[in-house]
Amino acid sequence: MSEARTVQLRRYRIVEGELPAFLDWWRSRLLPARQAFGFRLESAFVVPATDEFVWAVSAAGDEAAFALLDAAWAASPERVVAFDGVPQRVASMDLRIAVPAL
C-alpha cells in the first residue's frame, strides 16, 4: 500500500519578462532545496502566453502534516538561502490543496 500524500497546487503569475530567470532559479535553487526538505515534485508546467508557472508539490501525510512541513520550510535557513539575493519575480500566486480526480 502506498503512503498517503498531500498535494498542493501552486499557480504563479510571473512578472512580465522574468519567466526565463524565474525558471533558472526555480530549477537550480528552489526545487532542490524543497526536495531536500521533504517535498516531492509532482508536476510543473509553463504557460508562456500568460507568464504563468503551475506546479504541484506533495509531502507525506495528511493536510495537517503538509501544513506543518510547509511552516517549517517557510521558517528554515534552507529557504533563506534559496531566496537570498533573488528579486521578486512572482506577481501573484494561488496555492490550494488538491485531491486526485481519478
Place of cell 533573488: 86
Domain boundaries, the chain: 5-92
| Cell matching residue 79 | 529557504
For the segment 67-71, the average pLDDT, to the nearest whole number, is: 97
pTM of this prediction exceeds 0.85: yes
Q: How far apart are alpha carbons 34 and 21 in whole angstroms? A: 18
CATH placement of domain 5-92? 3.30.70.100
pLDDT in tens, 12-66: 999 999 999 999 999 999 999 999 999 999 999 999 999 999 999 999 999 999 9
